[in-house]
Amino acid sequence: QLSTALSNCFKCDLHRLEEGPPVKAELTREQGLQYYRTMQTVRRMELKADQLYKQKIIRGFCHLYDGQEACAAGIEAAINPSDHLITAYRAHGYTYTRGVSVKEILAELTGRRGGVAKGKGGSMHMYAPHFYGGNGIVGAQVPLGAGIALACQYQGNNQVCVTLYGDGAANQGQLFESYNMAALWKLPCIFICENNKYGMGTSVERAAASTDYYKRGDFIPGLRVDGMDVLCVREAAQFAADHCRAGKGPIIMELQTYRYHGHSMSDPGVSYRTREEIQEVRSKSDPISMLKERMLSHNMASVEEFKEIDIEIRKQVEDATQFATSDPEPPLEELCNHIFSNNP
């Protein structure tokens, strides 16, 4: 189908950068439908997880990603499967974009042997080739990400490492240690702060002396873009990846985004923000609606096509749920498996 150049004059704040990503983005029909499909799948998967949690079929801690889909979809669109990615515990979306099926994700949430981590990790610990999780301790994944970037540099494979963290983690000391090492050694590390405005129940103003997270790397160049627009995310991530691959060292990206759910399933999410605020974001900035409307208004796809995709995704998620609720739990031997390399 036709490829359409969209004038996409989005706001992009720069720090120590002469110029930022292009203000125009191209979107082909295929790309648009793919991004839509990805985001809608993540959305429906997260909503299904919510449902299963309330039915107590999923237990433990569960941090949902709905609202932030454009970040995962946009980043994946900009990088290669051979690049690396690591994030914190709000990880189901990235697990999907990095290639794990909805079936394996839901089965991991329900703790079954068909889960991506054999049912041993749960919500916060999902992994895939070149996707390092899934990390429970806030901020602990960032030095790891810098280390992965070092490995890329050392092996000279032209790969980059996308290291994600949230606005809460941005105040952890180990991030600054990572920034320093990455800048000193010019590591191909894209630090990305998904700023969803709340670290659990604490708004960013109450937690950070500076909420310009894209500047917090000080000597590391940074950019801040709208994380609800999948094209903005993609262009910015592409720009960042090019920067790193050119050997210019690390870069920080701040994605301004929003989560509809509370911090986790134990948090209703309305004691520290108003329902009006959540509703406003849903109606004005929902990433999936924004993409759909953009494509419809440019005649890149029809309403029926989107409906069909929705129906397909619904079925996919239902099938995955069926598997996740019927697959058996891991065998008891797994309790003591994989502690060391070769079980003594």
Residues found near another protein in the complex (CB under 8 A):
59-61, 111, 119-122, 124-125, 136-139, 168-169, 171-174, 199-202, 206-208, 271-272, 329-330, 332, 334-336, 339
In the three-class reduction of DSSP (H, G, I as helix; E, B as strand; rest coil), residue 332 is classed as helix
Minimum CB distance to another protein smaller for 166 or for 188: 166
Minimum CB distance to another protein smaller for 118 or for 245: 118
- Write down the least CB distance from residue 14 to another protein, Å: 26
Nearest to 58 by CA among 101, 108, 100: 108
User: From the centroid of its chain, how far is CA 76?
Assistant: 9
Rounded Cα distance between 300 and 177, Å, is 46
User: From the centroid of its chain, how far is CA 96?
Assistant: 9
Minimum CB distance to another protein smaller for 44 or for 92: 92
In the three-class reduction of DSSP (H, G, I as helix; E, B as strand; rest coil), residue 178 is classed as helix
Minimum CB distance to another protein smaller for 66 or for 167: 167
Minimum CB distance to another protein smaller for 20 or for 122: 122
Look up residue 330 and give its two tokens. 């891991």
Q: Among positive and negative, which fits the CA dihedral 105, 106, 109, 114?
A: negative
Burial annotation 83-122 (CB, 10 A radius, 16+ → b, else e): bbbbbbbbbbbbbbbbebbbbbbbbbbbbbebbbbbbebb
Query: Which ranges constitute the DSSP H helices of the chain?
Result: 29-54, 69-78, 92-97, 102-109, 141-155, 173-184, 204-207, 230-245, 275-285, 287-297, 303-326
CA angle 171, 173, 179 (to 5 degrees): 95
Minimum CB distance to another protein smaller for 47 or for 200: 200
- Write down the least CB distance from residue 280 to another protein, Å: 23
- Write down the least CB distance from residue 146 to another protein, Å: 17
Q: Please, are residues 326 and 103 in contact by the beta-carbon 8 Å criterion?
A: no
Minimum CB distance to another protein smaller for 168 or for 249: 168
- Write down the least CB distance from residue 30 to another protein, Å: 39
Inter-CA distances, 225 with 12, 228, 267, Å: 5, 9, 27
- Write down the least CB distance from residue 334 to another protein, Å: 7
- Write down the least CB distance from residue 239 to another protein, Å: 29
Minimum CB distance to another protein smaller for 156 or for 328: 328
What distance separates the 2 farthest-apart alpha carbons in the chain? 63
Query: Which ranges constitute the DSSP H helices of 85-194?
Result: 92-97, 102-109, 141-155, 173-184
Minimum CB distance to another protein smaller for 218 or for 308: 218
